[in-house]
Every structure is written in C-alpha cells, then in structure tokens.
C-alpha cells in the first residue's frame, strides 16, 4: 500500500521523448513484446505493461508528475479530494450525501480508491453531457453559435 510520485528531470526530456517513440513503435508491432537487457537477458512484457509504460512516459514528456497508488490503498479524505480536484470540505459534503462510499477508522473517514475514481469518471461523463447539451442549445438559438 505504498504511493510513489515520479517526475521527470527537465534534462531528461529529450531521452524520455525518444523512449516514447520507441514504445509507440513497439505498440505498432504484434505481441509478444520483449525487454532486452544489456547482457542478453530477456523478459516478455504483457501488452498491459507496455501500455502502462506508454502512459507514464507520455505524461513525463508533458512535464507532468505521475502518482502510482496501489488499488488496495485506502485514501484519507484529503487524498481523495486531491485526486478528484475538489476541496476537502466539498468532498465531505459528497460523502454525507452518499455520492461516494466511505467508512470510518475511529473518527477518520477512509475511501477506497476505486470508489473515488468511479465518482470522478461519473462526474466527468456528466460534465461532458451537460457541456454538449449547452452547445446544442446555443446552436439552436437565433444568432446562436455555429
């Protein structure tokens, strides 16, 4: 149940970008994907591992930090609020309304990461739908956006 934050050094960006190109080329091929070490050691990589590497490298090229969190990890209310980009008081309101399941450890609230991510996904879908509806309505108005 560890959490690791990975960030790229700006001096490594050129090399990281080259790695991105190599991973993209690798994904154009058919499995099996093989990692080859300098001494000839080979490890076959599942497609899911190569895709995870691609996602990490892509974010690093953009200068973003990556946080790796075990799915078994329970989050504090502050960690959950940070993950979905809201304030802790707002998150507490969401919990009290039953929008995200939680349990208590003593007086502290704990949330499963998968519940927090599911809420975030639902919220994102609802926001996109609302934005699409607003766009549709604005296009229907006289002199509306087109």
Domain containing 8 equals: 3-69
pLDDT of residue 87: 95
- Residue 2: pLDDT over 70: no
Residue 78 and residue 65 in one domain: no
Claim: this prediction has a pTM higher than 0.75: no
pLDDT of residue 116: 92
pLDDT of residue 1: 36
Q: What CATH number did the domain enclosing 101 receive?
A: 1.10.1660.10
pLDDT of residue 4: 65
Gap between the Cα atoms of 13 and 51, Å rounded: 19
CB 111 within 8 A of CB 104: no
Residue 39 and residue 65 in one domain: yes
What proportions of the chain, in percent to the nearest 5, are helix, strand and coil?
A: 55, 20, 25
Residue pLDDT, tens place only, 16-50: 888 888 888 887 878 788 888 888 888 888 888 88
Residue pLDDT, tens place only, 88-134: 999 999 999 999 999 999 999 999 988 998 999 999 999 999 999 98
Residue 61 and residue 82 in one domain: no
- Residue 72: pLDDT over 80: no
pLDDT of residue 141: 80
Going by C-beta distance under 8 Å and a sequence separation of 6 or more, which residues neighbour residue 113? Answer: 69, 71, 73, 74, 75, 83
pLDDT of residue 146: 60
Asked whether residue 145 is assigned to any structural domain, the reply reads no
Residue 114 and residue 79 in one domain: yes
């Amino acid at each position: 149940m560890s959490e690791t934050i990975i960030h790229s050094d700006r001096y490594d960006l050129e090399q990281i970008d080259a790695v991105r190109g190599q991973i993209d080329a690798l994904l154009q091929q058919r499995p099996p994907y093989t990692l080859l070490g300098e001494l000839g050691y080979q490890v076959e990589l599942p497609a899911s591992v190569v895709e995870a590497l691609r996602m990490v490298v892509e974010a690093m090229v953009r200068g973003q930090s990556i946080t790796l969190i075990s799915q078994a990890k329970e989050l504090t209310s502050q960690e959950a609020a940070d993950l979905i980009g809201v304030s802790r008081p707002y998150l507490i309101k969401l919990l009290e309304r039953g929008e995200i399941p939680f349990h208590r450890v003593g007086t502290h609230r704990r949330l499963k990461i998968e519940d927090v991510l599911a809420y975030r996904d639902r919220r994102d879908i609802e926001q996109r739908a609302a934005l699409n509806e607003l766009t549709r309505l604005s296009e229907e108005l006289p002199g509306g956006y087109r």
